[in-house]
Amino acid sequence: MLYTRWHRYTQHVQQHVFLTAGRQHINGVQLYYERTGIGKHAVLLIPGALGSTLTDFGPQLKSLNKEMFTIVGFDPRGYGRSRPPERDFPPNFFERDAKDAVDLMKALGFSRFSLLGWSDGGITGLVLAARNPELIHKMVVWGSNAYVSQQDLSIYHAISDVSKWSARMRKPMEDMYGAEVFPKIWKAWVDGISQFTHRPEGSICMELLPHICCPSLIIHGEKDPMVPSFHPQYLLKHIKGSRLHVNPEGKHNLHLRFATEFNKMVEDFLDE
């Protein structure tokens, strides 16, 4: 009898620990998502520009503690496997992504969750946490900014021509979008993120930061070529009670390059 019960339990655990994938109709589009884990603490992963669960969060979906957390990754509308529609960048695209993310988690049955947001996904996370304080347990963001400076604009324009990227950097995006479509979407993103320079102080969501009340961990790679160090310092100053961890060797994709260290830090923070 004991063996039978244990066998049924392990079958139940295995069934839910293995990654499952699906699509959910949200705000007029079909959003692709992946889900793994059986923990009571739900965690949403929000990818960066043109990103997806496949390109952005492999080590997290694979290795974050699946007994402690239920982990959900999704492809924002127009990205990855959430196409159609083709991606566009209206002035409210971060707000739109934040609403999509909230409504997806509600549709999946989560009334409260934590979030991990990388790069653009971190910006979406900032908006989401500020707009929905009652929903967010904790937040981790890295490679993110609340405004676009002239220095940022120079960085974006310097990388707008993907033909100048290394083949290794292009490959994941070309595999996802195709060699002809990827440059067009990337150029549209550069134009989309650049439009914030027309706002006062280049604000993307500066005015929202004081409304974030969840415990927040900001992570920064000291060698990040995309996000100057004044951005995490600004977030630290304006998000009440937040803390900052700097990885001295980290670049923009530090969660992939230093996945074991990153995952352990995140697990410890979420479990506090």
Active site residues: 119, 224, 252
Q: Strand 29-36 to strand 69-74: parallel, antiparallel, or no bridges (unpaired)?
A: antiparallel
Tabulate helix, strand, coil % of the chain (nearest 5). 45, 20, 35
CA dihedral 125→127→132→138, nearest 10 degrees, is 30
Phi and psi at residue 41, to the nearest 5°: -90, 110
Per-residue DSSP letter, 208: G
What is the C-alpha separation between 205 and 163, in angstroms, rounded? 31
Number of H helices, E strands in the chain: 11, 8
Contact 141, 117 (CB under 8 A): yes
Please state the φ and ψ torsions of residue 74, each to the nearest 5 degrees.
Answer: -145, 160
Residue 44 token pair:
């949403």
Structure tokens at 191: 């134009």
Residues, the chain: 272
Tokens of 64: 């974050």
